[in-house]
Structure 1
Amino acid sequence: MPLVLQKKAQKFELKKLQGPAVTKERVSALEQLLQDVYASRHPKLSDYESRRDLILVFNEIAKELYGYSKVTPVVVEFGSFLMDLFSTTSDLDLSVNFSSNAIEFPREKKIQTLRKFAKKLYAQQSKGHVSGVLPITTAKVPILKVVDRGTGVECDISVENRDGILKSQIIHLISSIDERSTVHKLLFLGHLCDVNWLYVLYVDGANPATVKESLSNFVNYGKSNKESLAELFVTLPIKLSSVQNLWPKGLCVSTYEGSWTSKTWNSKVAFEDFTDPSQNVARAVGQAEIKQIYECINLSTWYVLSFMDDQIGEVQLKEFLFGHDGITRYFKFSPNCIIA
């Protein structure tokens, strides 16, 4: 069954990729557009500083709650900020850690910790310093949401989130191998380039220090692949669009192996956790979400291909993909007209 699905996925990909001929001029134009957008959205020094200041503030709150003692937790960042893949509108993921070592931390104790922080933040909310204080304790990973009024940054606080920290560290290290992956922000790049970075780096162990030591062995790894950012940007949505009808049959993305595989997870979409292939990182995606995701993917694919076929210009493509309203304006998809 896995082999059959893999072959179908590859067949559908090839068929979809045999679309309009792509000229060097259009690729070059898209490349410049993407680089311009990246430059305009890349965080400024002040964005880094404001997030670092928030981390200091939460550490001060931890000291107020637990006192200046050995049991005082340390609040550390992970997610997009640690990976250096964040934008000015990105959330700030934080973990409240009570130990420098990975230890088993009971779920109930995590919830108690979040409630303790929530009580303090509710008081801050009444003074107008923060807003949107919301504990979510029913999720697989309990979190506490809060928005800093001064910066507008939304913070997602969890407790002893070693898994999130570990993955963030590894992804940050892997991204440093190829600058395109930092801009593209997608791990699927490894599959596109026939470069299985996740596998070759991670197979020796999940210790970030070990991975970092291995990086020197992979300098210029995959250099023979000459695909530009624009070419990668065009290819990815086409790949995802081509397999839309295969997810219900068990299709799964293996980021660890860099290939399609299959699972019996009975989920709407399946992406293996590269640190634990038995887990689906897309488990929370339901029918409504997958419908909206594919509306976006199919619209994006159509707009990008229309641009590559010289049917629309840079301004319209940029507004659709990256404008203030962006893709949310285009839920009714018609292949016969450009919806604006």
Structure 2
Amino acid sequence: MQWFINDLSLDGQFDTAESFCTALSELLKLRMEQPLFKEQLFCSRQLGQHLITEKYNLQKTVLQNPNPLFKRQVLEWISKSGPFWDDTREQNENDYFTFQNEAVTEQGLGEASRRTLAGLDTGVFSFIGSRFGFTSTPLSVQHGWREPELDFGIIEISNFWDIQRLKQAIEDEKPEPQSWVEVMAEACSRFNGLIFSPDIKRILQPSPFSRCVSQRIFELLGVLQCLVEESSTQGQLSDKGIELCNQHFVGKKAWFSGSSESEKHNFEHVLTFSDPANNMQKLFCPWHGKIKTPQFRIHFEWPRPSGQREIKVVYIGPKLTKK
């Protein structure tokens, strides 16, 4: 699917620059996490000129943000990297589109309509709060004028305004991995807060591929990624991160646990791994995520050393501490 920013959803509805940047940061994060989405999320070259607050357009609003990385990423996206649908605009003989009597021919909603007519699967992302609301789907776009000879019908465009629903739609678009190589390729692209050992591909290779195991791997790695996201640059967990630990690291049915004292003693050698950030060093990693059938484990460095935000994942494969 190709995605387009719905320009009409930006009409100065935000009270503060901060509130808009918070909403935009969620979309930016998803764009960075999903390489395919990044390639297929189109915006207009004029997006930066759309009004965000009563006084400031998008570009000036972003420049008020105190985070230099955020400013750099957004401005690079909307002014240089795109992709911009203007550069590959779809041609249509009857090139006039409206939404609720508002012309969208030169906007993302218009381009989504043109590409839909060309047989492509499209959708738009809308910011909420504008005079149109944009909290419903699909959006009905009028092609042509509402006159008998110039009315070319209604085009229904899928609309997304909730980041979690958009993320799920993106995941549903992706074919499921069919091999361990594909599993690790997707893991590396999805979980940018995790540092994976290059040995994992070799470790997984002898095991028969399992769709259920691969799904569980992504589920467990997703929790570790969330812990990274809920950490400061020095590795200190936020309140949400602490809650996540209490949910998944504590109790008999916890998804993650440390090896018992006897296992640490008896299996110290096999629970010691090369540091993925420096293969000249070794890491003792008894903490692991659990997969029951078949018995697989994900070993990772925990707790993290002081000042480290990322989590090092050193092993994914069959259980190592079998007696």
The reply to whether TM is greater than 0.5 is no
Counting strand residues as a fraction of each chain, which structure ranks higher? Answer: 2
TM value normalised by structure 1: 0.26
* Structure with higher RCO (Cα < 8 A, 6+ apart): 1
- If you compute each CA radius of gyration, which structure gives the higher value, 1 or 2? 2
TM value normalised by structure 2: 0.27
